[in-house]
Each structure stands twice: as structure tokens, then as C-alpha cells.
Chain A
Amino acid sequence: MRTKLLSNSDFFITPFRFGSSAWEQTLAPIHRTLELLGRMSHTAATILSVILVAVIAWFDYITGDFSLALFYLVPVVLATWNAGPVSGWFIGVLSAAGWLVGDSALSHAYGHPLMPYWNAAMLALIYGIVAQLLSTLRRLQAELQERVERRTAWLAEVHHRVKNNLQIISSLLMLQAEKLSNAADKAVFDECRDRIYSMARLHEQLYSNGESSDLDFAAHLREMAEMLVRSHTPKGCNLALDVHANPVAVDLDTAVTLGLIANELLLNALKHGFNGRPAGKVTVELYEGNRNQMTVRDDGYGLPPGFDARKNAGLGLELILGMTRQIGGEAKIENDPAGGTRTTIFFPSPTFGNSENTTPTQTDLP
């Protein structure tokens, strides 16, 4: 049985969305009205404009001395917006004629008999100029909208490419790792895949955030910790994860670096903290403050006696220290009084306005 497929367009209709800034919110009703008017056919808009001119001219005629010249702009705008500048000019001239009819009802003592015709011609010219400017505005608006739509589609495509490429890199690492016989070597590749995964999730959050460049790092930290504990818990160990993460807004650069630091800390805890133990607990904390604070704590074996991070730093620790300096923060690695290892990363908070002036301080190492 062969099945007839629908076309992609049945499912991929992405309407242009008017933005949500205060300025755009204020203009939204006007935008919606113009959109409604824009849906009228050219002929309908022109006929409606002619009727409006007639109605205004009639009012102009019966109200006598009150000038209604400004009101003729309504049909001029309607005709121009919907049917283009030629229609706008036509309605402009018609409006001037309507004004002339209204004016004829008055007994003005003009200095010259041609004066009312001159005034009507001036009005026609003003209406025409308005029509011309409005049609230019509309054309520019349409071009801008098209450009925004193209850029949005392009951004979505770039995002898609980035994610797909990260998937391909991750897949290649997995396929390469398969050729290795040594479990420790394989683990190195797995760790690389975890790092890629962490970066991809942040990239995704950035894309989902739309125009905001700040990310909720707490949500990311929680997801990453759960994923790592699920996939790296030592065999035979009943491991609990406790996450206390308050929402902390950080920019993408800081978030990626912090994510990688958290990745390393969690992997260290999972790799070295609990081997051979029947149970354990990993605690992750994130607090906002004058200096933000991220802590990864385990109740495992703790640091080896005589451990000196400056001398014994493996790649993981070297990365942690380097990346902490990179974000202007400091790291404190110590044995937890309750047992196990506790690492705290202090990093500057943009909320407290010290993100740019923070001088990296001495890292507190055992």
C-alpha cells in the first residue's frame, strides 16, 4: 500500500509575529487595524474611500464654516494603504473637489475668483504628498517585514545546523570510542560527549529565549546533573541527587563555561567519590548573591591525603581552575566536614553590577 503524503506547507506555516516590546505593544492596535484594512481588495477600498469622501463633503457642505479638510485624509490613507499611490492621488483630488463643493456653500469674499480653486489645488497636492509618503512607508514596511522573516528563518536554520553538527560530532566520538578496547579510554570519549551535550542544551535554551540573551542557568544545571547521575552512577551504588538551584540569570558565555565546570565537578564526584560504595549522595547548589555561588558536594571518599591541586591537577581540575579564572571567579576545593569533597565556585553577578570590574582572586586550594 502506497500512501499519499501531504505537502510540507500544510504543517509549516510560520506567520510573522509582531514583537512584544513596549513600543510594539503600543503600536499593536494600529498594526492590527492596518492589517485588517490591508486585506480589503483594491476595488473595495477605492469604492469605500469614494463613499467616505462623499460623506465628508456632505458634512462639509452642511456644517458651513467648520473646516473638515483634515478628515479627507482618512479616505486618502485608506485608498493609498490598500490600493497604492495612484488610488491615493485619485482620492486626494476627489477630496479636494469635495472640499471645494463644501466651500461653495459659504459666502466667502475671496480677493480673487480663482482663489478657492487655488486652495483646492493646494489641498489636492497635500493629499497627494501624504499618499506618496504613505505608499513609500508601506513599501518599506513590507520590505522590512520580509527581511525580518528571512533573517528569522536563517537564524532557525543556523540553530538547526549547529545542533545537527553537535550531534554529528557526538556521534563520531561514539563511533571512534567503539574501536577502543580500554575502558578508561572509552570513558574519555564519553566525557567529551557529555560536554557537547551540556553545550547543546545551553544553545537550545538561548534559542528558545528569543531576544533575551540571559539564560536561566538553574534549569540547565538541574537537567545536566540529573542526566550525568543517570548515566555515570557507579555500578552497585545507590546514588541520590539533591539539587537546590535558585534561578540565576547569566549570559551565554558565562553559562557555557559554568556548565562545563559543573560537568567536570559532577563527573569527578561520580568517577572518584563512590567506587565500591553501596550508597552515596551528590548535592548541587546554586545561589544568587553579591557573588553568585555554585557548589557541588559529595559524601564520598573525599580528597586523598596530602592532595595538592597545584601539583596534582589532572585535566579535569586544570579545566575547572582555568575556566573559573576565565569567568572572573574563584574556586574553593575542600574536604566537607561531614565527609566527602565540596567544591564551590564563586562567580560575579551581573545583577549586582560587578561583572566587569571583578578581578580574579586567588583560588583557594588545599
Chain B
Amino acid sequence: MTNARILIVEDEAITVSALKRELASLGYQVAATASTADEALNAVELHKPDLVLMDITLAGTVNGIVAAVAVRGNYHVPVVFLTAHADDGTMERAVAAGAFGYVLKPFSGPGLKAAIETALHKYQTEIESRRRSNRAA
């Protein structure tokens, strides 16, 4: 799903700039950027992105995993983690938070695209399956 609108939640300005360009070159639109969990929630509400690309370590006191739970719970937007954390514990917590995928830093263009496309596809499948079960009920 090219042209998808993506919210970048990342507290490193240089990484945000690189991400914007990388996403644009991959055919996505950057809906907005945020550096804290609060900003992320506001941006999701305001810009209604198709996907959130979320760093785990954010500025402020609340981390990206907690923010992802709130995004998933309140706005039902798929979240892909972009993180330098690669340990099993973090991955388990990311999965528990409802992550649709993750990209390890430093990211590569193909890796980023694969994770985003997989997440969007998985999300679409999830929605359709929910619709079918609603109709059946």
C-alpha cells in the first residue's frame, strides 16, 4: 500500500530527517512527526495516519511501548516499532503491546518497506476478519 500516511514518533532529529526522506523515496507520505508519547497521541488524533512508526525510547517519561498500547487501544492504528533494542525481553513486550512489526536501527530502505507493507497487510486482514465475524454474529 504505497502512499500510506505514516506518523513518525522518534526523538532523534537527525533520524527523523533521514526517515522522512527514506519514507518519501519508498512512496509513503509522512503525516506528521512526534518526539514524545503525548505528542504522538495528539498527532494520531489530529492526522489519522494509516500507520505509526514508533521508536521505543522517546523523549519524556513515557516510552514507545506504552504509547503504542494507547494508540492501538484508542485509535486502532497499526504500530511498527523502530528500535535499537534487539533483546528478547523488549521484543516480547513489543509483541504484547500489539506491534504489527519492528525495524531495527540502523534501518535499511528495503527492511523498512518490508516491515511497513507487512504491517499494513496484516492490519487489513485483521479488519476484514473482524468485519466477517461481526456479520456472522
Contact = CB atoms under 8 A, between A and B. Distances in A.
Given A8-B61, A174-B21, A208-B87, A231 B110 contact: yes
Contacts of A208: 86-88
Interface string B21-39: 1100000000000000110
B65 interface: yes
B104 A204 contact: yes
A207 B87 CA distance: 8
Contact of A1 (B38, B45, B110): B45
Given A164-B105, A170-B106, A171-B15, A6 B85 contact: no
A227 interface: yes
B66 A5 contact: yes
A167 B84 contact: yes
B107 A167 contact: yes
B93 interface: yes
Max count, chain B CB within 10 A of own CB: residue among A1, A3, A6, A201: A3
Interface stretch (B1-9, B67-75, B120-128, B129-137): B67-75
A311 interface: no
Interface stretch (A10-18, A70-78, A132-140): A10-18
Interface string B51-71: 000000100011101110110
Interface in A185-217: 193, 196-197, 200-201, 204, 207-208
A202 to B, nearest CB: 12
B41 interface: yes
Interface string B80-118: 000011111100010011000000111111110000000
A235 interface: no
A3 B86 contact: no
B66 A175 contact: no
A172 interface: yes
Interface in A68-103: none
A160 B57 contact: yes
A2 B22 CA distance: 31
Given A1-B74, A12-B93, A227-B111, A175 B17 contact: yes
Contacts of A164: 12, 57, 84, 105
A175 to B, nearest CB: 6
A31 interface: no
B21 to A, nearest CB: 7
A332 interface: no
Contacts of B86: 163, 204, 207-208
A174 B22 contact: yes
A163 B93 contact: no
Nearest to A200: B106
Given A1-B45, A164-B105, A8 B66 contact: yes
5 contacts: A8-B61, A11-B93, A169-B106, A174-B21, A193-B108
Interface of B: 12, 14-15, 17-19, 21-22, 37-38, 41, 45, 57, 61-63, 65-67, 69-70, 73-74, 84-89, 93, 96-97, 104-111
Which 9 pairs show the lowest CB-CB distances between chains A and B?
A171-B18, A163-B84, A167-B105, A170-B106, A167-B106, A230-B110, A204-B86, A171-B14, A174-B18
Given A1-B45, A7-B61, 20 more contacts: A5-B70, A8-B62, A8-B66, A11-B97, A12-B63, A156-B85, A156-B87, A160-B85, A163-B86, A163-B104, A164-B84, A168-B15, A170-B18, A170-B106, A171-B18, A171-B19, A171-B106, A175-B17, A196-B106, A227-B111
